[in-house]
Amino acid sequence: MDSFAHRLADIQLRIADAAARAGRPPQSVTLVAVSKTKPVEALHEAVRAGVRVFGENRVQEAVAKMPPFERDDVQWHLIGHLQSNKAKIAVERFAMVQSVDSIALAGRLNRLAADAGKRLPVLLQVHLGDEETKSGVAPDEASELVRQTLDLPNLELRGLMAIPPFFPDPQDVRPSFRRLRELRDALQERFPAHPLPELSMGMSHDFEVAIEEGATMVRVGAALFGARA
C-alpha cells in the first residue's frame, strides 16, 4: 500500500479537501514534487504516477536528473538559493525560478533570459523574519524589488514564495502564510497592471494550512518520496 502512487493519491485528496475548505477548485493548487536528494528511479515512478512538476534546490543535481524526462511533459522549478555561476544553466533548463531574492540576481537572470531568447517565469522569495534561512528579501523591501523586477522585460514575475519557520503544530505556521498572502495582496494593489497570482508556500508538514491561506503552489517532498537521508 505504500507505493508512490498511493501517497500521491492521498496528497491530491488532501489538496482538494483543503482547497474546498478555502472555496477554491483543486486545480487552483499546483503540486510541486520536491525530488531533491532522490534518485532518478524515484522520479520515473513519480512521472508514471502522474507528477509533472518537480522542485529541486540545487542546479547541478537537477540538471543531472533531467535528460530521461526531456520527451515527457515535465517541468522543473528551482526552489533553492541560486549561485550566480549557475544562473545561465538555470535559465536554460528550469521552467521557473522561485528563489529570486535580489535585484542583482533578477538583473542577471533577465540578461541571460534575453540571451536565451526566452521570458523566464519567476517568484520573489520573501524572508518572513524568523526562519533559519538567510535567503529571501525582507517584507519591507519586497515592494522595491517587485518594482525593479517588473521593469525587466525577460522576466515574468508571477508572485511570491516563502519558507516559513518550522513548528511541530502546522496551525502555528498559519500566521506566516497569512502574512505572505497579505503582502502579495498589498503588492497587487500597488502594481495593479501586473498579475501576481502565485503564492508558493506549504511543504509536507503544513501544505493544507497553506492552501487554506491561499497557496497556489505547494512544495511537497518527504510526504511523497519518503524521508530524506
Ligand X SMILES: *Cc1c(COP(=O)(O)O)cnc(C)c1O
Contact positions vs ligand X (CB under 6 A)? 34, 36, 57, 79-80, 163, 203-205, 219-223
Q: Which is nearer to ligand X, 153 or 166 (CB)?
A: 166
Pairing of strands 217-220, 53-56: unpaired
Question: Among residues 62 and 163, whose Cβ is nearest to ligand X?
Answer: 163
Distance of alpha carbon 162 from alpha carbon 81, whole angstroms: 12
Q: Smallest distance from the beta carbon of 45 to ligand X, in angstroms?
A: 17
Q: Considering the complex, what minimum distance in angstroms separates the CB of residue 217 from ligand X? A: 10
Nine cell digits for residue 59:
542546479
State the minimum distance, in angstroms, from the CB of residue 190 to ligand X. 26
Tell me the C-alpha distance between 46 and 143, whole Å. 37
Distance (Å, whole) CA 32 – CA 220: 6
Closest residue (Cβ) to ligand X?
Answer: 221
Minimal distance, residue 47 CB to ligand X, in Å: 18
Q: Which is nearer to ligand X, 64 or 166 (CB)?
A: 166
Spatial distance between the Cα atoms of 172 and 166, rounded to a whole number of angstroms: 9
**Which of 79, 146 has the CB closer to ligand X?**
79
Please give the helix or strand (H or E) that residue 107 lies within, else none. helix 103-115
